[in-house]
Amino acid sequence: MKRYMYILCISILFINCKQITSAQPQIKDSETEALVTTKTSDVKAIMNFLASDELQGRDTGSQGLEKAAQFIEKEFKKYGVQPYFDTYRDAFDAKGTATYNVVGYLEGQDKSLANEFIVVGAHFDHIGAGKDVNGDTIANGANDNAAGSTAVISLAKQFAKLKNNKRSILFVLFGAEERGLLGSAHLAKVLKEDNIDLYTMVNFEMIGVPLNEKAYKAYITGYEISNMAVKINEYVGSELIGYLPKAKEYQLFRRSDNYPFYEQFNVPCQTISTFDFTNYDYYHHVDDEVSEMNFEFMAELINNCVPAIAKMANTQSKEIKLN
């Protein structure tokens, strides 16, 4: 009888432990998979708003851009991403049009490294209107660059939940990129004048569709100027970032918001993209719509970038360097 009762108790204990384990999954040490993963549905929700007809193509100075900015500010506030300035807005003049960058801030958690900064950015403006196609003139700018903006918003959410960045991170949505990189040029100048210690800048541009027939998931502009691609791949343990010859041929390193930061600070500042000149036909076109986006791919790429940026934010020394 005693033996029976012993076996019964052990069985009940085993069942209860199994139930507890299944109800409360264990969080891995990295925490990057625990409650912070960007879901396909999250990407879709952000994209559906930023690239909606309601925002009328997010032209500089427009009401549509203002609605986009208010949405981003609301998201930052909800996650606990603080304003870097007195407000989230970094106002500037874009060749006679008043506009702004939206700048969120996560302070570093390590006293010795918190004064070093990483900028994670993307432009959130677009061209507004395009050539009429079947009565449609709204250039929604889904791939260019609601996609990159979605990455920045999603990464801000993830890192705000993790709360383990030793270095400080600025999450920036740039204005007036389509007017000539004006927003990034303004902010880079302001931060330089403030004498901040910029470690590196990672920019996201046109990541809405996968590359065609490449071993890697995305490429980086200015591949050869630093070891950023090599270190990212090392940090994530796979060939996430590769070299695209067309990017060098078309001088894409100089054509996105990474470049003003490189000019001001002379540190690795580069853009991650998946537009390879063969996989998307709607650059500055009214058919650059959310219907053309691959949300599952976007979510996967964003999540792949988390451990890379986390490593950048937490290494004791600055491992990413100019060549």
Residue with tokens 């606990």: 80
Token readout for 315 is 């290494």
Domain-located, residue 73 = yes
Question: What is the rounded distance in angstroms from the CA atom of residue 203 to the CA atom of residue 123?
Answer: 9
CATH number at residue 66: 3.40.630.10
Token readout for 157 is 């959410």
Q: Residues 139-188: pLDDT tens digits? A: 999 999 999 999 999 999 999 999 999 999 999 999 999 999 999 999 99
Q: Tell me, what's the pLDDT at 23?
A: 32
Q: Tell me, what's the pLDDT at 6?
A: 39
Instruction: Name the 3-class secondary structure at 208.
Output: coil
Q: pTM of the predicted model, to two decimals? A: 0.90
Domain-located, residue 1 = no
Domain-located, residue 58 = yes
Low-confidence ranges of the chain (pLDDT < 50): 1-35
Residue with tokens 């270095």: 167
State residue 85 phi and psi, 5-degree precision.
-95, -165
Q: Comparing C-alpha atoms, which of 112, 32, 115 is closest to residue 316?
A: 112
Instruction: Name the 3-class secondary structure at 33.
Output: coil
Domain-located, residue 84 = yes
Domain-located, residue 59 = yes
Q: Comparing C-alpha atoms, which of 255, 280, 258 is closest to residue 269?
A: 258
Question: What is the rounded distance in angstroms from the CA atom of residue 239 to the CA atom of residue 165?
Answer: 24
Q: Which domain holds residue 205?
A: 36-314
Q: Tell me, what's the pLDDT at 12?
A: 38
Domain-located, residue 320 = no
Domain-located, residue 64 = yes
Q: Helix axis angle, 147-162 relative to 40-50, nearest 10°?
A: 130
Residue with tokens 């007036």: 176
Q: Residues 212-252: pLDDT tens digits? A: 999 999 999 999 999 999 999 999 999 999 999 999 999 99
Phi-psi bin for 105: left (phi > 0), alpha (psi -120 to 50), beta? beta
Residue partners of 16: CB distance under 8 A and separation at least 6: none
CB-CB contact of 92 with 183 (8 Å): yes
Domain-located, residue 114 = yes
Question: What is the rounded distance in angstroms from the CA atom of residue 37 to the CA atom of residue 213?
Answer: 26
Q: Tell me, what's the pLDDT at 9?
A: 41
Token readout for 44 is 């879709």
User: What is the tally of structural domains in the chain?
Assistant: 1
